Amino acid sequence: MVCPAMKDAKSTFEENLKRLKEQYQNQLPEKIKAIVTDWKVIKTTWDQEILTRLHRNVHSLIGTSGTFGFTALSTQARELETSLKPFTQASPESANLPQIYQQIESKLRKLLQLVEDITGAIAEFSYTVKTGSESVKEIVEIDNFQLQHNLIEQTLIYYLDDDMAASAAFTDSLSAYGFTVVHYREPISMIEQIETRVPALVILDLILPDYSEDKIFNLSKQLTEKNIKTFILSGKSDFDSRLAAVRSHASAYVKKPADVPSLVNSIRVELNITPFKPPHILFVDDQDAVLQYYQSVLSAAGMRVEITNNPLTVLDLLDAYRPDLIVLDVNMPLVSGDELAAVIRQHSEYQSIPILFFSNDNQPEQKTQLLEVGSDDLLHKGMPVGDLIRQIKSRVDRAKILSSFMYEDSLTGLFNHAQIQAYAEKAFAVAKRHKQQACIAMLDLDNFKQINDSRGHQTGDKVLKALSQLLQQRLRSSDIIGRYGGEEFLVVLPNTSLNDAGVLVNDLRKTFQLFEFVDSLQEFNVTFSAGIAESTHCDSVADLVLKADDALYRAKSSGKNKVCVNLH
């Protein structure tokens, strides 16, 4: 039996493939126009750069049309490419040129005929290719598209509201973040559907015709008794209504018009669907049996555990894994635990990582001595495993709260400039070490200064929050997002190809441009541009960021609301 979530994922995947095919169909006339234009120029003026571009566009058409199922078009493009080969090898004075012209134009006319009846819609997506000091645009080839699902896309929300126009906009806004939202105009059909498909959350509009507020609050209470969380949505903000919502066990009271980014954040918190990152522990002890035992019990408790019996490897492990907490044996023959802690604390980037000491002794004077070298506590090796797990989780949670003040941007909750730069360097080092690909994407909101100047900084802040929420919802838990500065964001995509990064970021761009923001009852949309670069041909993170920034500049300078990818 196939579970509903898998069916939904498959359905969404097929719908996205269909949408991509339709998008590609609509751009085919533009592709052919570019080929025809270059051919007309090259017939009268021999230009090697235009000739190279012409051949490249034809070759691109072979692959992309075949990928999207246009076999006849791909075959005809290949025939045109074959006809072009003698032309590229001939000199301008060649006597065979008229015959070559005739063959090429024959193939070109057939190609045009095949495209005539193709329709659809596609948004622009560009590559930036460096050739000397020039930048040449190519249309992307989406060869291996794979939709990336996450927990959010499996989250079902029922929404009860009789206002069709407002409900459609509200549903679209939540769906853009990846939720599956089903709208109901009256309670009966929704209640009947719950018997066969239970949602994770129900959002109830407080004011419905022929349905009193008391009935809505009673419905909320009934749903929560079935372990279905509820949010009350209302244009009222009086104390009595809010108190009634509390007594109905509603998880949240949302004032209309809803601030969708804030609502999305509330949903994430309430449903606990933020991508889970288990506590990452580094355990250092000279006894292998001790290491293996604690690795086993801590892993069973949902933690990631790195172990080593060699204190000399600890700095390398810290650099590679950046654990949330370190556990050190006090008495080790090569380097003692307090010595190792002192070495670790010499590195400013490791100052905030909690250190717990493990010892067979638990004397007060020993604990005091260890605190002086930067320890957080001294634990006895004989303590119950359950107590150890609680100690570790408590320390990790506390450290994360403290680090959020130091390392996160206060407005968006994303990593700040220094932290995202540090994570970019780490991802780059890991990619180089394991011979993997890693990509960096630089995103910049278009015309953001105008938004701040004309609509106010409070509205600008809402836009920044909306984009940060979208990135957190739609990217993988392994991807790292930071506010690089102002309206610019940096996204680190470990173990990701350039093509996959391009498809992913472009999908985010197309989603974000549909978001509707409201200022003084006036709706408006905002777009962003992006530049992407990949680590393989870069010598440093600085080089990688610079190439992504170059691609971003190309996207901005060529019209904005685009994604450009630096191939070199």
Domains of the chain: 4-122 (1.20.120), 151-271 (3.40.50.2300), 280-407 (3.40.50.2300), 417-566 (3.30.70.270)
Question: Is 347:302 a contact under the CB 8 Å cutoff?
Answer: no
> By mean pLDDT, which of 12-21, 253-262, 473-482, 503-512 is the weakest?
12-21
pLDDT classification of 260: cutoffs 50, 70, 90: confident
Paired residues of 232 in beta bridges? 204, 253
CA dist., res. 446 & res. 424, Å (int): 24
Please say if the pLDDT value at position 133 is more than 80. Answer: no
Q: Note the pLDDT of residue 548.
A: 92
* Residue pointed to by tokens 């991509």: 20
The whole-number average pLDDT for the span 314-320 is 84
Element (H, E) at 492: strand 488-493
The answer to whether the predicted template modeling score (pTM) of the entire model surpasses 0.85 is no
* Least confident window among 142-151, 347-356, 472-481: 142-151
pLDDT, tens only, 336-374: 888 888 898 888 778 878 888 887 765 555 555 665 555
Report helix, strand or coil for 336: coil
Which residue in 28, 8, 108, 32 sits closest to 69, CA to CA? Answer: 28
Neighbours of 8 (CB within 10 A): 15
| Mean of pLDDT values over 528-541 | 91
Q: Most confidently modeled of 356-365, 378-387, 436-445, 494-503?
A: 436-445
Average pLDDT value for the chain: 79
The pLDDT value recorded for residue 145 is 30
Helix (H) or strand (E) holding 564: strand 563-566
Q: How far apart are CA 55 and CA 138, in angstroms?
A: 12
Sheet of strand 180-184: strand arrangement: 180-184, 156-160, 201-205, 229-234, 252-255
Q: What is the mean pLDDT of residues 94-102?
A: 68
Q: By C-alpha distance, which of 37, 176, 126 is closest to 567? A: 126
Q: Respond yes or no on whether the N-terminal peptide bond of residue 257 is cis (omega within 30° of 0).
A: yes
CA nearest 74: which of 85, 82, 83, 65? 65
Q: Of 372-386, 480-494, 527-541, where does mean pLDDT reach its minimum?
A: 372-386
pLDDT digits (tens, 9 = 90+) for 300-311: 888 888 999 999
pLDDT digit string, tens, across residues 159-181: 999 888 778 888 888 887 778 89
User: Is residue 407 scored above 70 in pLDDT?
Assistant: no
SS3 call for 130: strand
Number of other CB atoms surrounding residue 333 within 10 Å = 7
Question: What's the mean pLDDT in 142-149?
Answer: 32
Find, among 117, 132, 115, the residue nearest to 34 by Cα. 115
Residue 336's region, left for phi above 0, alpha for psi from -120 to 50, else beta, is: beta
Whether residue 226 has pLDDT greater than 80: yes
Query: By C-alpha distance, which of 140, 126, 128 is closest to 547?
Result: 128
